[in-house]
Amino acid sequence: MIKTSTTLLAVIGDPIVHSLSPLMQNWMINYFKINAAYVAFHVKSNQLEQCVNGVKAFNMGGLNVTAPHKEQILNFVDQKSREVELLHAANTLKNENGTITAFVTDPFGFIESLGKNQSRFAGANVLMFGAGGAAKSVAYALSQLGIDKLIITDIFEEKAVQLKELAKNAFKISRVETIKIKTNNLNDYITDSQILINATAVGMHPNAAKSVLDDYSAISKQHYIYDLIYNPGHTALMLNAQKKGATVQNGLDMLLFQGLQSLRIWMNEDYELKIPALNELKSIMKKELGIYE
């Protein structure tokens, strides 16, 4: 129940109507018995400064920031975390008495989502599809996980090259390559990798038949396939890789853990979501998404 003392949190984006964050965050707020409420605001790009001033005037706890504002919002913050400085993007603003600090919790959400599969990453070769905002966060996470080599491919080669430079120079991943999306020897790269990551929207609802891969012959049970998509719960990439014995994971846990990390930052508390609670929340979110499997 909202009280006079309740801290307001919100997600801003344009569009915002499909955001799962209010459902997810209010579930966690209730679960952890936090005196807060979380709403969604449809904020246009030309309103970002007014928006941040509003956070200060209302003494809100903070914001989540989603597309297309994750970079532009940085023009209006007072401080940036080290990760925000590296990624030039933020998804979390924290307000402390009118001082706004920007954080990015996506890389953290990726790492926490790995669970016991985290041990696969040290020294691994990773093939990543996509070089956009999500891929940038994952690349930073990969640098923290101590991978050996990152291969990036994107339909826009220039974006792949930009992310390569960032991953090498800023994130300090020692070996980074880019390859063309339709390269003839893609299977050689797959065979040479232990981990494949889809950080594109290819295969996302309502285009669930699509996949970044046409040929799964190089996929084996040694592979760990991480698809950042969470709708559908099993993408064509995941289903086909599973048939070859690979271990697969979708993006729902990353979504949850980046949100949990934002809540930890706002509240200065080290909340933990145990497996039963995590599963309950995931089933609520799948229901909201219309995923029954």
| The residue to which tokens 């400085």 are assigned | 85
> Contact, 229 vs 250, CB < 8 A?
yes
Task: Between 38 and 171, name the residue whose CB sits nearer to a second copy.
Answer: 38
Which stretch in 9-17, 106-114, 121-129, 202-210 sits in contact with a second copy by CB under 8 A? Answer: 9-17
**CA–CA gap between residue 79 and residue 83 (Å, rounded):** 12
SS3 157: helix
**230 touches a second copy (CB under 8 A):** no
Which stretch in 54-62, 82-90, 176-184, 258-266 sits in contact with a second copy by CB under 8 A? Answer: 54-62
**CA–CA gap between residue 103 and residue 155 (Å, rounded):** 29
Subset of residues 12 to 31 that bind a second copy, contact rule: CB under 8 A: 12, 16-23, 26
Nearest approach, Cβ of 228 to a second copy (angstroms)?
A: 21
Phi first, then psi: what are they for 102, rounded to 5°? -95, 135
Q: Which helix (H) or strand (E) holds 42?
A: strand 36-42
Sign of CA dihedral 133, 242, 250, 146: negative
Active-site residue flag, 70: yes
Q: Retrieve residue 19's tokens.
A: 């955001």
Which stretch in 57-65, 80-88, 104-112, 272-280 sits in contact with a second copy by CB under 8 A? Answer: 57-65
SS3 248: strand
Subset of residues 59 to 118 that bind a second copy, contact rule: CB under 8 A: 59-60
Of 44, 56, 70, 136, the catalytic one is 70
Nearest approach, Cβ of 262 to a second copy (angstroms)?
A: 16
Binding site for a second copy (CB under 8 A): 1-6, 8, 10, 12, 16-23, 26, 37-43, 47-48, 50-51, 53-60
Enzyme catalytic residues: 70
